[in-house]
Amino acid sequence: MRKGLQNLENSENSKYKIIAVDDEEGIIDSLSIFLKRSGYDFVGVTNPEEAIEKVRNEHFDLMVLDFIMTPIHGDQVVEEIRKFNKELYILLLTGHKDLAPPLDTIRRLDIQGYCEKSDKFDQLLLLIESGIKSIAQMNEIKKINDELKNTYDMLEKAYLESIETLRYTVEAKDTYTRGHSDRVSEFAVLIGKKVGLSAEDIRTLQIGGLFHDIGKIGVPDNILQKETKLTDDEYSEIKNHPSIGAHILSTATIFKDIIPIVKHHHERYDGNGYPGRLKGEEIPYLARITAIADSFDAMTSKRTYRDSLPIDVVISEFKRCRGTQFDPELDDVFLDILENHFDEIKEIQEKYM
């Protein structure tokens, strides 16, 4: 019975790969016998610099590391490893407890434990077993998180597809919107990259641009498709679309980051926009970017009641509206794009012609 349990334990231990680093060959040999007997997949290295490269190129679950070595000490080894591997579980061996590195160094380098060298490895084995249990728990947590992420990704995909269907419905109602949201999305991303936004914010801009007019699903067709000038009442109906869009998206938490774009892309920097009459930096930053992209596409798109505006007129408009309709700093960035990098704008326009 006991032998069967030991075989089972050894089989479980074989899932974990341990690297030991000590410049004394005898220590490595002893650890090899000791740890392989316990069933672990074991690699021993006497050169600390070689150990760093092994960890860089292979997967190890746990490292047993001598502190006083040549040509570099154990803390220097950990310093290098932590630059590219934050997860490796590390146990430090010391010839004497007085020779261990300071506690703040152990904490800073995230060394999980240390013990003194001994002819017997009982204490070290206990630390290793404890470390392996921690690693097993972390692996289980990662597995659960991955499963949750996959579920979340599937849910997100379903929601996006549902909203995409609504977007196409809006485009069927309003011929002007066809291609407009795609272009606004790409213009906004272009501006976002120019101002150095993070990949996460760029992604939010992209999706926000695609769905910024989703609220037009709640605007009557006769208003969206009207070819003559809108009455004040009809224009009031149009002005409801940001709030309608925000309400539609509010039912799913995955859209929480794009709701500020959808709701506030018609605010003006001087506070005379809608629906919240927000002013200046009260307006969410990504909404300020989308407002510029949206206005530019509106100016350069052909409408039933007017042709698209020439680029020199568009540039004049952005100069005129700097600090009133648009954030002045973002306006300057976009004017630079229009005046010096218009080929990037043209490429997006031609993509959706």
Residue 350's Cα: distance from chain center in Å?
Answer: 30
The closest of 167, 169, 191, 197 to 297, measured between CA atoms, is: 191
State the Cα–Cα distance between residues 23 and 77, nearest whole angstrom. Answer: 13
Paired residues of 43 in beta bridges: 19
**If you write DSSP's letter for every residue of 124-173 in order, what string do you get?**
HHHHHHHHHHHHHHHHHHHHHHHHHHHHHHHHHHHHHHHHHHHHHHHHHH
H or E stretch covering 307? none
Distances (CA, A) of 19 to 92, 120, 127, 137, 145: 12, 19, 14, 20, 27
Distances (CA, A) of 92 to 4, 102, 124, 278: 32, 12, 10, 57
Phi-psi region of 141 (alpha: psi -120 to 50; beta: other; left: phi over 0): alpha
Which one is catalytic: 216, 239, 279, 302? 216
CB 161 within 8 A of CB 175: no
- Residue 279 falls in the annotated catalytic set: no
Question: How many CA atoms, within 13 angstroms, populate the side-chain half-sphere of residue 56?
Answer: 13
**What six digits make up the tokens of 208?**
């926000």
Residue 43 dihedral angles phi and psi, to the nearest 5°: -130, 130
State the Cα–Cα distance between residues 311 and 239, nearest whole angstrom. Answer: 27
**What six digits make up the tokens of 268?**
């003006």
Give the active site residues. 216
